[in-house]
Structure 1
């Protein structure tokens, strides 16, 4: 039996078969490349796109703690929904070329921020600036109460400084700042202010040093909340000191009772006669310490009071005061004040009775 002999392929057939094989390989390569491309695009979008909480449209806050490493920051960003992946955040850091330069602080992260944008925010180090306000005329106790109540400050407060040694103002701070550092800042600001104003004082004032000026400024601060009245009130007290008259300031009575907290009631006759060290109805001259932390305007008023002959003032019922040079004029002003107050109280009684 004769053996089977295969027909030899023609050159054209071989070429066609090779072309088909090459086409299949190209198709396979294209398919693989397409899958890789799609996967890469998806991965980049997922890793470097906005986090899962981006659809809320809300600005979020993120804290970089002192000592945080990159992996911890990425993990917390993922936990808080600000990035899709901690790996994506680290990839964004690497792409930025600034690995290891993220700064501690609290940061505002806008809605739909990408990991790359978040990296730029953390690199710039422009943390959220919060504000804490201390009104002029507050005591150290009141200031310490506000510092303690602020949830963004950290650490214990130092022992209370002397009354009047803190500059009441608005202070910026970042979350995590210490309460002690803010107190130190307020003390430094006060010293700078008082030193500068002391150099600009008028001659022949009836007190001998900065502390005495500060004591009088604290009384002026508590006597009126009107900036334009402070120089005139200061002049009255300066005139009284020069004349050897008692200051007779109601806020000094209150401070001796409450150490700066509101009294919560009217001043009684027994309060006027209470012989504590701050009662300027009893003592002559200045009390032993300031009764509050005065602001810049009160200190300036005391160090450069206008030249007047006024020795008395009393509330006028409009938020300001009526001033007088003589006791007789003062008594008329007091009578008008009492009549106004009686009228207000009677109207209040009528209104309450009609309810």
Structure 2
């Protein structure tokens, strides 16, 4: 009987030890991970659970591997869902929260805003400097990029929607260009379908060109449709649009920050002081508000406008009124009537 008692005692001790070990293991899993500050951790494609756990320990994110290794033995499904991506880990997470994060779609994202009124060249520079992108298009010419997008022979200016774009690490810049192109095509199609009936333009592309002029002329929301109205009336009367941003665009790298009379008289394909009608392409990436203004110009009688120097414009019906406004706001020679 003595051996039976000894065996029972051994079983009790072993069971107690097992329970104590299990409780200690659970305590380790429930305890906060070793991080002292927020940190981004990347699970690279092809990494297995054991490699991830070893790397987490090596980087000081977890204190030890063994609690997770045991978890892989007793609850292997907990480690099967780990996925590639960048994850932001926070102090205070326990093992369950850590593994849930590494198994989720809650990955780190990057964002970039392409402002309205920037050129396509500006957009390329912004994306070229963006982090965490696969810069697939960096060495492509504009023509090669458009061909890769499936639009061979199409000029890119104005074709990409200015917006805030969000991506995960490893996404190609080609995907961002595709999203921006598709978004502009969708918005332009929608806006064109709701256009006014009496416009002096005939195609969505002409609306895109006109919207780019409006975008570059003003950042004041209330003025967009008024400027569109001026352009509409000038086009209807066969007057040249005479808008400075087209001169600047045509000068390209020759633009030094100010416009001279010689610049205004210099013939380029875009200079609306010397060409009639619209320029051959947009001069910037217009936003939705400028597109809406282009197809819904405000009624009125103004044929001229000049910058007041505060971001707004003075609108005039006659050349005499306009010249007086120029003397006041540009030359500082007194009050306009």
Give TM-score, length-normalised by structure 2: 0.85
Q: What is the root-mean-square deviation in Å for CA atoms of aligned residues?
A: 2.6
Match of 2:268 among 268, 271, 276: 276
Task: Tell me the equivalent position of 2:246.
Answer: 252
Match of 2:123 among 143, 148, 163: 143
Return the offset for 1:99. Answer: 4.5
1:37-56 pair list within 5 angstroms: 37-46=19-28, 49-53=31-35, 56=36
Structure 1 CA distance, aligned partners of 2:14 and 2:47?
41
Stretches of structure 2 that go unaligned for 5 or more consecutive residues are: 147-155
Task: Tell me the equivalent position of 2:230.
Answer: 236
Query: How many pairs were matched up?
Result: 319
For residue 108 of structure 1, give the secondary structure of its aligned residue in structure 2.
strand
Note closer, same or farther for the CA distance 1:35–1:340 as it changes in structure 2 (3 Å cut). farther
Confirm or deny: 8 A CA contact 1:47 1:84 kept in the other structure.
no
Confirm or deny: 8 A CA contact 1:92 1:115 kept in the other structure.
no
Task: Tell me the equivalent position of 2:133.
Answer: 153
For residue 306 of structure 2, give the secondary structure of its aligned residue in structure 1.
strand
Structure 2 CA distance, aligned partners of 1:214 and 1:321?
22
Note closer, same or farther for the CA distance 1:87–1:153 as it changes in structure 2 (3 Å cut). farther
Structure 2 CA distance, aligned partners of 1:45 and 1:169?
48
Return the offset for 1:200. Answer: 0.4
Structure 2 CA distance, aligned partners of 1:164 and 1:242?
24
Confirm or deny: 8 A CA contact 1:104 1:125 kept in the other structure.
no
> Which structure's CA Rg is the greater one?
1
1:1-355 pair list within 5 angstroms: 31-46=13-28, 49-53=31-35, 56=36, 58-92=37-71, 95=75, 97-157=77-137, 159-160=141-142, 161=146, 162-258=156-252, 263-340=255-332
Confirm or deny: 8 A CA contact 2:111 2:167 kept in the other structure.
yes
Stretches of structure 1 that go unaligned for 5 or more consecutive residues are: 1-17, 343-355
TM-superposition CA deviations, 1:204-229 (whole Å, max 9, x none): 31122111111111011001011111
Confirm or deny: 8 A CA contact 1:50 1:82 kept in the other structure.
no
Q: Which moved more, 1:94-103 or 1:74-83?
A: 94-103
Return the offset for 1:269. Answer: 1.8
Give TM-score, length-normalised by structure 1: 0.81
Structure 2 CA distance, aligned partners of 1:169 and 1:131?
10
For residue 195 of structure 1, give the secondary structure of its aligned residue in structure 2.
helix
For residue 87 of structure 2, give the secondary structure of its aligned residue in structure 1.
strand
Return the offset for 1:63. Answer: 2.2
Task: Tell me the equivalent position of 1:346.
Answer: none
